[in-house]
Amino acid sequence: MLLNTPFKLPERFLIPVLDAISDHKLPHTVNVPALYKQKIEVTEDMYPERPKSRSQLYLRLNPMIQKPWIGGFPIGKIVEEKENQAYKFIAKKYNVDIYKLEYNPPIHLTFKWSEYGGEEQAHAEALAAQKKFTELYKASRNQYRVSYCELTDAFFLQVRINHIFPNILFECDIDDARAIFEHDWYLVQNEFKNKFDDVKYRYRLVQKDEKMKKGKSITKFLFPADKFREYEDNNVFNCRKYNLVGPK
């Protein structure tokens, strides 16, 4: 998140949410999904152990042991260049001003078919390089796990958006996970002025068509009969149904 007034000690502030309505512009690429289509199957072995007590004192003294992240997508892309008979693995350099940290260096590797024994072998080598690079910088996107919420006494799905903001997690009810991840979801921004004439930014997760035009929002997807739903905690990535409320 890029702030108008930078913190004096930005490394102290880890951003855990993205505000649905914010005073700040968020750094995101409009044509790159925040959530990628993937097959998610939640099985019994993915559930952490339910705490014996929901009290804050008990949970502080006995922190829950989370299951490891699974699934997800590697960083970068594999590009086919038929005219050069080669595959390229390309990943951009990522850094975030608020942290002043570099998350991964840029990389640009070429795998010529003639040097690797053919097209199929060159493609396999490019994929292997992408996997190795992703693991080295812990740069997988959209890895997921099942977690537990003591406030609602319920299990839910958590998804890491990316390695640039490692503490920002998409959350949804387990019953909705399969349907949600049958689609790509994009973060979009709309500027508006509130009743005090202050400039604000509204963020939503939406589907897009083949021409990248905005489609159905995730709140409309989850509540098709309702005209509008707000985020109770103002976190655009908390899409558990208890958090999506109608107009008050």
Residue 45, φ and ψ in degrees, nearest 5: -70, -10
Asked if residue 192 has pLDDT above 90, the reply is: no
Residue 248's pLDDT is 61
**Domain end marker among 89, 119, 136:** 136
Does residue 67 fall inside a structural domain?
no
Ramachandran assignment for 136, one of left (phi > 0), alpha (psi -120 to 50 degrees), beta (any other): alpha
End position of a domain, from candidates 136, 165, 186: 136
| 182 plus 210 within the same structural domain | yes
Tokens matching residue 171: 């959350």
Dihedral sign for Cα atoms in the order 75, 105, 121, 118: positive
pLDDT at 162: 80
**Above 60 in pLDDT, residue 9?**
no
Domain membership flag for residue 176: yes
Residue 229 token pair:
């739903």
What is the pLDDT at residue 7? 39
Looking at the domain assignment, is residue 117 inside a domain? yes
Whether residue 134 contacts residue 104, with contact meaning beta carbons closer than 8 Å, is answered with no
Q: Are residues 42 and 147 in the same domain?
A: yes
Residue 4 lies in a domain: no
Indicate whether 165 and 237 sit together in one domain. Answer: yes
Compute the mean pLDDT over every residue in the chain, rounded to the nearest whole number: 85
Average pLDDT over residues 165-186: 91
Question: DSSP secondary structure string, 72-95?
Answer: -B-SSEEEEEGGGTEEEEEE--EE
Tokens linked to 222: 């989850």
**Model pLDDT, residue 168:** 84
Percent of the chain with pLDDT over 70: 85
178 is a domain residue:
yes
User: 181 and 213: one domain?
Assistant: yes
* Structure-block tokens of residue 113: 């078919």
155 and 208 belong to one structural domain: yes
pLDDT average, residue stretch 117-139: 93
* One domain, residues 169 and 232: yes
Domain carrying residue 105: 77-136
Higher local confidence (pLDDT), 105 or 130? 130
Q: Are residues 88 and 206 in the same domain?
A: no
For the chain, the domain total comes to 2
Q: Report how far residue 18's alpha carbon sits from residue 36's, in angstroms, rounded to the nearest whole number.
A: 18
* Domain annotation covers residue 68: no
Contacts 24+ apart (CB under 8 A), 106-110: 107/76, 107/133, 110/86
Is 228 found in the same domain as 163? yes
Q: Binning pLDDT at 50, 70 and 90, where does residue 210 land?
A: confident
Q: Note whether residue 165 is domain-resident.
A: yes
Same domain, 197 and 238: yes
**Which pLDDT score, from 0 to 100, does residue 137 have?**
86
Does any domain span residue 71? Answer: no
pLDDT of residue 177: 95
> Do 152 and 234 sit in the same domain of this protein?
yes
Q: Report the range out of 19-23, 74-78, 187-191 with the highest average pLDDT.
A: 74-78
Of 121, 136, 151, at which residue does a domain stop?
136
| Residues 179 and 238 placed together within one structural domain of the fold | yes
Tokens of 215: 């489609």
Q: In which band, very low, low, confident or very high, does the pLDDT at 11 lie, cut at 50, 70 and 90?
A: very low
pLDDT at 76 over 80: yes
Strand partners, 146: 157
Tokens 């260096």, located at residue = 105
Instruction: Tell whether 147 and 241 lie within a shared domain.
Output: yes
Q: What is the pLDDT of residues 84-115, one digit of tens each?
A: 999 999 988 766 555 456 677 889 999 999 99
Identify the band that residue 189 occupies on the pLDDT scale cut at 50, 70 and 90: confident
